[in-house]
């Protein structure tokens, strides 16, 4: 088994049929559990209009419940367990809260009574075949110690790797800069809006190579849009080895609190404001 294991953290198997998190959301012949379930549930409810929603054919509700339970076990095993065992995080216990499912999105809350409510909101969203992740805990951040913040971002970086994340929302916003009003992911690239025109201003094509350079769509200049290294925008471009991952938490247990996970130090993984989720353009800023 060890000889066949990938040397880096990759998408973990979550579902009972070997589904990864992207396979729950990404439409396809052998994937897209949620995009397939919700239309079936809607058609079943339309076929039985006199039934209350919770009394519609139970098999689809049961299937959604199985997905929710698989996700709950995943977040408990690969994220919350590490924080609850972490010496840097301390005694503040974290638990999995409500999990909200939609055809192309999963949102989950991480609760911690010591830090208050609402808790850490983590979102995964499929756009054009890519998995976007975001995490926001505006009420927590002012209360976290430096050690707690390091432990949380270390754990979140590995959790995103095991979830198969392609793009991280706060990192996108950090790369694009404050002049960008909104963005959305397409098969061609990342579309960006300044808010000064009715349509998108530019696209960052995925096929640009090591540096993604914006291409104008409205004939205007591109002074507001800097080129972005692919390794600062595309999460799979920055691997995390199992060796480094294990070493971080071994040092944590030894009381050596300084984070050694370069990804957690170099990327913006937490938003300081409430997270905005949209299936189309995603506003940036308050």
Q: pLDDT at position 286, please?
A: 41
DSSP 55-106: GS-HHHHHHHHHHHHHHHHHHIIIIIHHHHH-TTT-S---EEEEEEEETTEE
Identify which has the larger pLDDT, 121 or 17.
121
Structure-token match 């849009």, residue found:
225
Encoding tokens for residue 134? Answer: 């975001």
Identify which has the larger pLDDT, 30 or 82.
82
The confidence band for 284, taking pLDDT boundaries of 50, 70 and 90, is: low
Angular region, 144: left φ>0, alpha ψ -120 to 50, beta rest: beta
Q: For the residues 67-85, what does the mean pLDDT come to?
A: 97
On average, the pLDDT of the chain sits at 86
| Residues facing 126 on adjacent strands | 131
- Determine the Cα–Cα distance for residues 222 and 241; give it in Å rounded to an integer: 37
The confidence band for 285, taking pLDDT boundaries of 50, 70 and 90, is: very low
Q: pLDDT at position 51, please?
A: 55
User: Cβ(150)–Cβ(184) under 8 Å?
Assistant: no
Identify which has the larger pLDDT, 42 or 121.
121
Q: Which residues contact 282 (CB under 8 A, 6 or more apart)?
A: 169, 182, 183, 184, 276
pTM summary value = 0.88
Q: pLDDT at position 279, please?
A: 38
Of all residues in the chain, the percent with pLDDT exceeding 70 is 83
């Amino acid at each position: 088994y060890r000889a066949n294991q990938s040397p880096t953290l990759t998408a973990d198997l979550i579902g009972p049929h070997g589904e990864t998190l992207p396979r729950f959301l990404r439409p396809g012949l052998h994937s897209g559990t949620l995009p397939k379930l919700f239309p079936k549930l809607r058609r079943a409810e339309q076929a039985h209009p006199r039934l209350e929603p919770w009394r519609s054919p139970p098999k689809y509700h049961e299937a959604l419940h199985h997905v929710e339970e698989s996700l709950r076990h995943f977040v408990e095993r690969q994220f919350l367990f590490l924080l609850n065992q972490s010496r840097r995080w301390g005694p503040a216990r974290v638990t999995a809260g409500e999990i909200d499912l939609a055809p192309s999105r999963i949102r989950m809350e991480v609760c911690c009574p010591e830090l208050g409510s609402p808790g850490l909101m983590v979102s995964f969203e499929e756009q054009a075949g890519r998995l976007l992740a975001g995490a926001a805990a505006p009420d927590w951040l002012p209360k976290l110690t430096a050690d707690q913040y390091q432990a949380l971002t270390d754990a979140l970086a590995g959790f995103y790797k095991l979830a198969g994340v392609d793009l991280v929302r706060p990192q996108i916003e950090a790369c694009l800069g404050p002049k960008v009003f909104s963005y959305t992911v397409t098969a061609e690239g990342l579309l960006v809006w300044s808010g000064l025109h009715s349509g998108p201003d530019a696209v960052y094509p995925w096929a640009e190579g090591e540096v993604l350079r914006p291409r104008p769509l409205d004939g205007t200049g591109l002074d507001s849009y800097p080129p972005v290294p692919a390794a600062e925008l595309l999460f799979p471009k920055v691997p995390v080895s199992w060796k480094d991952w294990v070493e971080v938490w071994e040092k944590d247990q030894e009381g050596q609190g300084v984070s050694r996970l370069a990804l957690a130090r170099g990327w913006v993984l937490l938003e300081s404001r409430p997270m905005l989720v949209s299936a189309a353009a995603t506003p940036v800023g308050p």
